[in-house]
Chains A and B, each alone.
Chain A
Amino acid sequence: MEEMLGPNEMIVHLGPQHPMQPGPFRLNLRLKGETVMDAEVELGFIHKGIEKILENKTYLQGITIVDRICYLVAMTNEECFVGCTEKLLGIEPPERAQYIRVILEELSRLQSHLLGMGEFGEFIGFVSMFMYTIKEREDVLTLIDMVTGARVTHSYLKFGGVRDDLPEGFKEKALPVLNNLKKVISDYEELFGSDRIYRERTVGVGVLTADVAKSLGVSGPALRATGVPFDIRKNEPYLVYKDLDFKVCTETAGDCFARVQVRLNEMRESIYILEQCLDRIPNGPLFPEGTPYGRRTPVMRVPAGEVFHRVEDPRGEMGMYMISDGSDKPYRVKVRGPYFPTLQALPPLIKGTTVADVAAISGSMDGCTSEADR
């Protein structure tokens, strides 16, 4: 990058530690005044080698490791890993366990979107927004905590089911929280929609068109904001999503405003899904009957084979490719995180914008470097 430096230009390194970032990565900007002429991302500051670690742990231990890929969406990471293994084992969780998983995944989608929106608010200078959303997120986390016993790294799913049943009175505790969330989501929408400064900062900033977004490999809210209704929950339903009624939220503008709007609408849909689940959840066992799988996982030799399983993460398409060689440890696990391609798409997106927009665009992608680095 240095050799391309023209007159009146300078290189500014945002990172590895910078208030704008969702985690440590380095963003090298070639600036001419305030305008970004060129950008480059350097990764690897929190590379944990999760794929190698997974190869050296048993399947059961792997559940605790995939939690740590990204702490915000531990539940969907677990679902992806456990889903892969279940496909290899040829078992399927009973209906009640599937409903509980959906409930927890939607709750974790809610908390992730709330945090993402708050962060975005902070990145454009709306400091209180972060506190507003984190207050509501706390209620959601309390619900998750009530079920799983942990706030972020749950280790809750088991092969063939879930560790614990929903606690007594969960529905009664969850419904007020959801109703309150509905109200605050409308509040946020009004705050965002009516504020002129907010609109000036977001409308028309960081515009992705559908074709460009597709060619960049982006998924999740960033893609849906361009009008492509790509959602794994609909395209390739897992768990009981095919029985549930929800719609894929899309916007057409593809700018920062649309991305946040998609998140707001998705939170509404999540609440709707949760209400359906809480109404419909059947009674029954938590683990498939007639199998050794239970809260106490038996010694497992997973049949040889390979599988690629995708789930819908709050940030997009989360996929895992697992190869088993018949032993008790996976032969190879490839984690395909949603933020990896999104982060890759950042440099072309911020080229030609200003420094202030870099924060806005990067924030509206709602990133998690930990997952891109793995």
Chain B
Amino acid sequence: MIDIPEFIVPLIPWIRGLVGLSLVGAIFLGAMGAVWIERKLSADIQFRYGPSRVGKFGLLQLVADAIKLFTKEDMRPRNADRLLFDNAPIFMMSSVFLMLVAIPVGAVFINGVEYPLAVTEMDISVLYIEAMSAITIFGIFMIAYGSNNKYSLLGAFRNFARMVGYEVPLGITVVSVGIMTGSLNIVEIASSQGLLWNIFLQPIGFIVFFIALMADMGRLPFDQNESEEELVAGWITEYTGMRFGLGFFAEYIHMILGSFLVALLFLGGWNVPAFVANNPVLGLIAPTGFFLLKTVLVLMTIIGMRWAVPRFRIDQVVDLSWKKLLPLSLLNLVWAVGLGLYLGA
């Protein structure tokens, strides 16, 4: 048992928030790591070496890339809408950060009491995250409309169609998890799972959620918005330098957040057996470590998918969403209600 001085107890939410905030800053490093993982994994799949020059195993390649992006000329097409064109990447980035404040990035157990590391804790954080995630589409449309390019516009339209199709099953699966738990607070959902993860309780829900999430993030079987062979670079065609970098990073951070969501909602979050949680030292590290490990595994799965499968056509994507995933997610909702009633009783 650690004795916590009396005067610190009221400050605990603040400390927790500050630690969470610093982890939010670290998410930038996480995005760099994601890019590195992507490059190395794709190289492994394709019998290549991947980045190997800058730093050990090419770990600093992303730093070099960032320097390159910062020093590049900031170009703007002649007929671009300046206001939209300049601010859209910032808008995208901010929407990602808004998402980030509600997502806990781990938890510490002090004296067996759980303190989640989130910047803020709200009662409807799952809905809030969903909403903020949907906002990125405005950033994408700002980019596409502002850059006055037909490829960008086509890419953004595809993104719209996909987003509209996939937010629905995504929302329904999230709500069905919430119904079963009896709360829409993501911290509560995560911690209430215990060792019986939601993936075992709602396997269909997990599959639907994972596919919808991939589509939401625009990873390969669903990356019609920037399909290189058709639209050159899709919505981001006209961007260079750090503006491109911001959009690029926003995408990767979005991906990391998606992995967080999967780990939190379906893979049991930071829950560890009680003896670990009660251990004064392990309780501080193990839950967060365990949670991040799961996140990285999910991230690698998402990344690996990109290099192993072909891309859908946009009408097939929309088909898949409305004709397959939506009925499945509704089925899962019914199942979750029933299961929730049964477990609750």
Contact between A and B in the complex (any CB pair below 8 Å): yes
A residues with a Cβ closer than 8 A to B are: 10, 12, 18-20, 31, 33-34, 121-129, 131-132, 135, 195, 197-198, 200-201, 354-359, 363
A358 to chain B: which residues have CB within 8 Å?
230
Q: Is B308 an interface residue (CB 8 A)?
A: yes
Contact across chains for B221 and A197 when beta carbons are under 8 A apart: yes
* B331 contacts partner chain A, Cβ-Cβ < 8 Å: no
B227 near A125: Cβ-Cβ < 8 Å: yes
CA distance A197 to B315 in the complex (A): 12
| Residues in B whose Cβ lies below 8 Å from that of A135 | 47
Question: Quick check: A200 and B228 within 8 Å, CB to CB?
Answer: no
B-side interface residues toward A, CB under 8 Å? Answer: 42, 45-48, 150-151, 154, 157-158, 220-221, 223-224, 227-232, 306-316
Bound CA–CA A19/B232 (angstroms): 6
Residues of chain B contacted by A127 (CB below 8 angstroms): 42, 220, 306-307
A sample of 14 inter-chain contacts (CB < 8 A) reads: A12-B151, A19-B228, A20-B230, A122-B229, A125-B221, A127-B220, A128-B45, A131-B46, A195-B309, A197-B221, A197-B310, A201-B311, A355-B231, A356-B313
Q: Please give me the residue from chain B that is nearest to A121 by CB atom.
A: B310
Contact of A200 among B46, B314, B316 (CB under 8 A): B316
Q: Is the CB of A356 within 8 A of B227?
A: yes
B154, B221, B228: the one contacting A34 at CB < 8 Å is B154
Chain B, residue nearest A12 (CB): B150
Count A/B pairs, Cβ under 8 Å: 83
Q: How far is the CB of A33 from chain B (nearest CB, A)?
A: 8
Given contacts A10-B150, A18-B232, A355-B230, contact A125 B48 (CB under 8 A): no
Cβ contact within 8 Å between A359 and B46: no
Note all chain A residues with C-beta closer than 8 A to B311: 124-126, 197, 201, 356
Complex partner residue of B312 from A20, A201, A357, A359, CB under 8 angstroms: A201
Contacts of B230 in A (CB 8 A): 20, 355-356, 358-359
Shortest Cβ distance from residue B177 to the other chain A in the assembled complex, whole angstroms:
28
Please name the residue on chain A nearest to B231 by beta carbon: A355
- CB-CB under 8 A from A124, the residues of chain B are 229, 310-311
Collect the chain B residues with CB atoms within 8 Å of residue A128's CB.
Answer: 42, 45-46, 307-308
Q: Are B154 and A126 in contact (CB under 8 A)?
A: no
- Top 10 nearest A-B pairs (CB, nearest first) are A125-B311, A131-B46, A126-B310, A356-B313, A359-B229, A123-B229, A124-B310, A197-B310, A128-B307, A125-B310
Additional pairs, 7, CB under 8 Å, beyond known A12-B151, A200-B312: A124-B229, A125-B223, A126-B311, A127-B307, A131-B47, A200-B313, A356-B311
* Docked CA distance A266–B66 (Å): 47
The answer to whether B228 touches A12 (Cβ under 8 A) is: no
Q: Are A354 and B313 in contact (CB under 8 A)?
A: yes
* Chain B residues with CB below 8 A from A354, complex form: 313-315
Query: Given A19-B229, A128-B307, A355-B230 in contact, is the A12-B154 Cβ separation under 8 Å?
Result: yes
Question: When the two chains form their complex, are residues A126 and B229 in contact, meaning their CB atoms are under 8 A apart?
Answer: no
A354 CA to B154 CA, complexed, in Å: 12
Nearest Cβ on chain A to B215's Cβ, whole angstroms: 13
Query: Which B residue's beta carbon lies closest to that of A17?
Result: B232
A177 to B150, CA, bound (A): 46
Complexed CA–CA distance, A126 and B46 (Å): 12
Residue of B nearest to A119 (CB): B229
Compute how far the CA of A288 lies from the CA of B154 in the bound complex, rounded to whole angstroms: 62
B321 to chain A, nearest CB (A): 14
CA distance A197 to B229 in the complex (A): 16
CB distance from B65 to the nearest CB of A (A): 19
CB-based nearest A residue for B223: A125
Query: Closest residue of chain A to B151, judged by CB?
Result: A12
Which residue on chain A has the smallest CB distance to residue B308? Answer: A128
Complex CA–CA separation, A122 to B308 (angstroms): 11
Please, which residue of chain B has its CB at the minimum distance from the CB of A358?
B230
Please indicate the chain B residues that have their CB under 8 angstroms from the CB of A122 in the complex.
Answer: 229
B310 touches A201 (CB 8 A): yes
Q: How far is the CA of A124 from the CA of B45 in the complex (A)?
A: 18
Chain B residues, Cβ within 8 Å of A123: 229
State the Cβ distance, B118 to closest chain A Cβ, in Å.
Answer: 37
* Shortest beta-carbon distance from B43 to chain A in Å: 9
Which residues of B have CB within 8 Å of A195?
309-310
B residues less than 8 Å from A363 (CB atoms)? 229
- Min Cβ gap A16→B in Å is 13
A358 to B227, CA, bound (A): 13
Q: How far is the CB of B222 from chain A (nearest CB, A)?
A: 10
Question: Which residue of B is nearest A11, CB measured?
Answer: B150
Alpha-carbon distance A116/B312, docked complex (angstroms) = 20
Assuming A20-B230, A122-B229, is B154 touching A355 (CB within 8 A)? Answer: yes
Chain B nearest CB, measured from A17 CB (Å) = 9
Contact B313 A357 (CB under 8 A): yes
A198 CA / B312 CA spacing, docked (Å): 8
Query: Which residue of chain B has its CB nearest to the CB of A126?
Result: B310
Inter-chain contacts of A121 with B (CB < 8 A): 310
Taking CB atoms, residues of chain A closer than 8 Å to B312 are 197, 200-201
Nearest Cβ distance between residue A5 and chain B, in whole angstroms? 13
Chain B nearest CB: distance from A175 CB in Å? 23
